[in-house]
Every structure is written in C-alpha cells, then in structure tokens.
Structure 1
C-alpha cells in the first residue's frame, strides 16, 4: 500500500483561469524563447538569420493575474516584453513540429518583465540571468483561451502601450521560429509535460517602465492585459 506523503507545509500551486470555464490550468514550468522576432533580435545585438532558438525559464510562481503591482526591488531599469503564451496539456519528447501542435491546450497573453540592468551586468560577467528574469510578479498573464476558440492566430496583431504611448507592435507570423518549431526544439532538450507554458518571444520596442506607469497589452483573438505599477 502506497503511503500518502506528509508535507511540512502546503505545497505551492500556481494556476491560471481558463477563459469561459470555472476550471484552472495548473502551471508546472515556464519556458521562454529568446529573440524570436527579427527586429527585437537586432535591437538586442544579435543576428536573427543565424541564431537557433534558445530558452531560459521563469519559476511558476512568477505568474500573476493582479492588475496592480509593486515595482520590483533591485532595479532602476525595468523593461516590458509582451509575448504570446502557449499552454500545454500533454507531454512529449523529441517531437517533430507536426507532432508538437497536438500538445497545445490554449493561448494567453503575458509579459516577460525584465530587470535589464541586472541582466546586462550578468551578461558582462557571464553569470546566469535568473534574478533578472525570475523575480516575484515578473510574469503578468491573462486567462488561458482554449485553442479551439482562437482563430487566425498567425495574422493576429500583438501590441503594448505604456501610458497610452505605443511601444511594441508585431504580428504573430513575424516570429522567426513558429510555435510548432519552438515546441519541437524544446522537446529535444527536455521532456515536455502537461502544465508547461512557453513564452514565444517579443517584438521590437522593449523599453523602460517606471513606478506609476500603466501598461496595456493586446493580442488579437487571444486577450488583453492591463498592469499598473504602484508609484514610489
């Protein structure tokens, strides 16, 4: 008979609402694709024509659905990065691009908030990016919209404005690596699992957010996100 584990304290569970239902999507891991839009790759000093996709991660408890956030500690140069998020409800390993799409449960809109000054210092010293990307509330995200309800995704416009000023604008089809290709590439490095989220990269135009700023992000056919950072 298998014994039931006795935890010292309740295990943490990160979850997102599923649009149109009373169910929640449990989040296991957050995988992020770096520099997946050509213009953003160039603005970050990379060559989009030669670099294969690379991945980093955020902890699951970095997600938040709150609309009012505390400005993060330890940074004077917080940057916004708006991204389409892919939610997986199946697992797999060493998948082809065609096989990969069968893992997709739905889509959301998210922000990969970045402490850019910490990231640049880490790059300069060849240190990990962990603290620049994986801090508390670094991943504001919408409810997940099931894939069956998402139409014409490839042609969907994705935008971000700060205090009413448009800063980022792209189309999902602008991605260097398609959703299927990204999932396939990642599955050759790790075994993908139900509950995995994949943030698919950001268009050009990333820039600074300050205390008191209001971010409005939108992805056609997927969702809308509004975040306000508390003033000092």
Structure 2
C-alpha cells in the first residue's frame, strides 16, 4: 500500500444512516480522525480486530486519496489521486459509553486495523461516481449499498471543508461516510466490498 498521512473520516453523511442510529442529521460536516496505523489492506487476508471490547460494527465507505495540496477553488477531480473502498470499523459499545460521557471517539474508532482499504482505482469523475454503487457483502449477503448521490455533503463540500479547516495534502485519505445497513461483525465473518458488481477487496475478520 502507498504511504498514508492523515486519515479523515466523515460521520453521519447519509441521512438514513444517521436515523438508523437515532442520531441528529448534521448541519455541517462531522469530521473525526483515525491514526494512519488503522489502515490495512483488504487483500482477502485476515484482519485482526479486538474481540474483547463489545460489538464491532462494519461501516462501508467510498474513500478518496488526495494527490496534491489543497488550494481554495480546486476541484475535487483535480485534488483526488484515486478512489478505493474501505470499512470504518467501530467499537459500538465503547462508542456509546464515551459519547454519553462527552469523551473523544478515538477509543471506538482509532484502534489498529479499524480502517481496511481495497486496492485503489483511478478517479473516474463525479458523473461516473454518481452512476456507480458500492456495496458490502457479509458472508455473501449484501448488507450495505450506497451511492454518493445520497450523501448529505457532497465530495466537493467535504474537500473544501476539510481543506479549509484542517488542511489536505498528498497521501491523505478521506473516508466519506457510510450508508444505512451498518451492523455487527464477529470473528470468522467474510466481508467483501464491491464496486457495482465487481469485487474490489475482501477480508476475514479475526
């Protein structure tokens, strides 16, 4: 895998996902970070996850890799070097506890291997992205299916917001949010990410 610098993640960027968890729909992008050590390859191997900290939920996402430094007015097409699919694994029981206390999400979101990623492919343009669907299959059953047209904040809005507030540079990743259908995964589950009907990567949960 290519070197990763910052890993930005967007929370609650699909209305139905926010609703399924009983969360308010945000009025501006909700950004959190994962360590670069959270990223690992979805190359049909085993991804080891902490199985002793309550339920682990999968959240399938479209991921942008940034290819150059952000500048005001730059188009997302010119900023993104490539696209991939990824999973934002979440320790849901841990998250519920720390949210109730008003604590940061790092313990629930930033653990090692919490951001597996498929092989990259060329950014096809916004129109082509909008015509495609990404999906997650769990043990051969489709559990999530998403399209960027259903995002609350579109890709241009996301890169402008993150670039302006935090900065964006070569090697940064943006996990752009998950559609509805998130749920628990356990050791032994096989998770596979698809772009339309083409498998892009998979893993066995360890």
> Normalized against structure 2, the TM-score is what?
0.91
Structure 1 unaligned blocks of 5 or more: 1-15, 17-24
Query: Does residue 132 of structure 2 align to residue 153 of structure 1?
Result: no
Q: Which residue of 2 aligns with 1:218?
A: 194
Residue 66 of structure 2 is aligned to residue 88 of structure 1: yes
Q: Supply the RMSD in Å over aligned alpha carbons.
A: 2.1
Q: Which residue of 2 aligns with 1:27?
A: 4
* Contact persistence 1:108–1:222 (CA under 8 A): no
Does structure 1 residue 189 correspond to structure 2 residue 165? yes
Alignment of 1:86-165 (within 5 A): 86-93=64-71, 95-96=72-73, 99-147=75-123, 152-165=128-141
Q: Which has the higher contact order (CA 8 A, sep 6+)?
A: 2
Q: Describe the shift of the 1:166–1:222 C-alpha distance in structure 2 as closer, same or farther (beyond 3 A).
A: closer
Q: Tell which deviates more after alignment, 69-78 or 208-217.
A: 69-78
Residues 33/221 of structure 1: CA separation in 2 closer, same or farther (3 Å cut): farther
1:61 Cα shift? 1.4
Residue 86 to residue 223, structure 1, CA distance change in 2 (3 Å)? farther
Contact 1:108 1:223 (C-alpha < 8 Å) held by counterparts:
no
Q: How far has the Cα of 1:165 moved from its partner? A: 2.3
User: Number of paired residues?
Assistant: 204
Q: Which has the larger radius of gyration?
A: 1
**Structure-2 residue corresponding to 1:4:** none
